[in-house]
Amino acid sequence: MENEHDYDSTKDAVLGHIREIFEELEQEAIMSHQEKYALLEDAFENATDVDELRVAFDQWYSDHVDELGLDVDVDELWDQAVSGEGGSFDSFEGEDDFDYKEEEEEEEEDEDEDEEEEEEDL
């Protein structure tokens, strides 16, 4: 019985600790992404045409390429963005739209609903 308690408490302690580390890393990543996005917005503020937007984008990408960790080069990323291939960010308004906690809660609710449906099927 004691071994089972040690097992459970050790498992819970390790999992809890790792979860906390991951949550801290996620928060740091969120802040970093918000900062980089704000820097891109600032760079775009001074542009007066598409060519200047591209120059500002190239400079921003060059400044942050190592930190971004993207799988695409600057030209491909620009082309994806202007052609709409890179995903749907139509409603993205800036750093205020970064609400990962709300997204996590919605995912958890969806998971709970899925579990309830599975239980009902049994």
Alpha-carbon distance 69 to 36, whole Å? Answer: 12
Report how far apart the first and last C-alpha atoms of the chain are (Å, whole number): 31
Q: Where are the domains of the chain?
A: 1-82
Phi-psi region of 70 (alpha: psi -120 to 50; beta: other; left: phi over 0): beta
pLDDT in tens, 26-63: 999 999 999 999 999 999 999 999 999 999 999 999 99
Query: Is pTM beyond 0.75 here?
Result: no
Task: Please list, in sequence order, all residues whose beta carbon lies within 8 angstroms of the beta carbon of residue 47, skipping any fewer than 6 positions away.
Answer: 53, 55, 56
pLDDT score of 103 more than 60: no
Whether 77 and 61 have beta carbons less than 8 Å apart is answered as yes
Residue 32: how many other CB atoms lie within 10 Å:
13
